[in-house]
Amino acid sequence: QKEVEQNSGPLSVPEGAIASLNCTYSDRGSQSFFWYRQYSGKSPELIMSIYSNGDKEDGRFTAQLNKASQYVSLLIRDSQPSDSATYLCAVNRVGNQFYFGTGTSLTVIP
Amino acid sequence: GAVVSQHPSWVICKSGTSVKIECRSLDFQATTMFWYRQFPKQSLMLMATSNEGSKATYEQGVEKDKFLINHASLTLSTLTVTSAHPEDSSFYICSASGLNSPLHFGNGTRLTVT
């Protein structure tokens, strides 16, 4: 079983819609959870961190964490074409070990 | 926010030569630095993890004698690709993390070996 799993997509949503990205992780001892955005040909950029159960909102982005279900999600409201990118879920375990999913490709259609 | 500087952004070298890539954490002490490689349209591939003052831990299949990693201080790590070959052409990305903090990435280095 992979440490972090994401649906590779591609996920396509129309402009203005909500994009929902999902991630599951295998280690219950995981402590910190992150979402990164990677544009083609660029390095990943941190967009959200979440450390406790529940929702965390930052602008159009909402991260949701459910440790009981070992599930992390990212919602993007009012999706824009500029949101088109690959979104990486990352999990940090004890000992500063980071594990990444393979990423979900999102396309926002104008 | 935390900044990780990676240099150079791109480099072209001849086959058989060595290339050094630098990764610096500008405003925090990086207890751990990670080196990734990414081929076009593929996922990030972790090459090695380095902690300041100790030898790097390489992932399976990564040749430690070919990809030399030095993490001499809490703000600087270097990756040297030795005797580069065309198949080493890739996008190399460093990242750094302080204690109990997110991972921040450098802008990457695009290496082309001719």
Q: What is the pLDDT of residues A61-107, one digit of tens each?
A: 999 999 999 999 999 999 999 999 999 999 998 777 889 999 999 99
Task: Answer whether B103 touches A (CB < 8 Å).
Answer: yes
Give Cβ neighbours of residue A63 (< 8 Å, ≥ 6 apart): A33, A35, A48, A49, A50, A55, A56, A72, A73, A74, A75
Give the pLDDT of residue A22: 96
| pLDDT average, residue stretch A37-49 | 95
* Percent of chain A residues past pLDDT 90, beyond the cut: 85
User: What's residue B23's pLDDT?
Assistant: 96
- pLDDT attached to residue B96: 93
Q: Report chain A residues whose CB lies below 8 A from the CB of B102.
A: 32, 34, 46, 49, 92
**Extended strands (E) in chain A:** 4-6, 11-14, 19-25, 32-38, 45-50, 54-58, 61-66, 71-76, 85-93, 97-100, 104-109
If pLDDT is split at 50, 70 and 90, which confidence band does A2 have?
A: confident
B-chain residues within 8 Å CB-CB of A90?
103
Of B44, B104, B107, Cβ closest to residue A46? B104
- Distance, in angstroms, between B66 CA and closest chain A CA? 23
pLDDT over threshold 70, residue B1? no
Give the amino acid at B79.
Answer: L
CA B27, CA A14: separation in Å to the nearest integer?
Answer: 39
**pLDDT tens profile B55-91:** 899 999 999 999 999 988 889 999 999 999 999 999 9
pLDDT band at B99 (very low <50, low <70, confident <90, very high): confident
Q: How high is the pLDDT of residue B31? A: 84
B24-60 pLDDT, tens digit per residue, is 999 888 888 999 999 988 889 999 999 888 889 999 9
Q: Which residue has the higher pLDDT, B93 or B53?
A: B93
With tokens 């791109």, the residue in question is B10
Residue B57 in tokens: 């831990």
B chain contacts of residue A88, beta-carbon cutoff 8 Å: 44
B31 in contact with A at a CB cutoff of 8 Å? yes
Assigned token pair, B29:
């002490």
Task: Report the length, in residues, of chain A.
Answer: 110
pLDDT tens digits, one per residue of A12-40: 999 999 999 999 999 998 989 999 999 99
Residue B17 pLDDT > 70, yes or no? Answer: yes
CA distances from B36 to B1, B2, B5 (A): 21, 19, 15
Peptide bond into A10 cis (omega under 30): yes
pLDDT of residue A110: 95
How many Cα atoms occupy the beta-carbon half-sphere of A48 within 13 Å? Answer: 26
- What tokens appear for B79 in the block? 């990756």
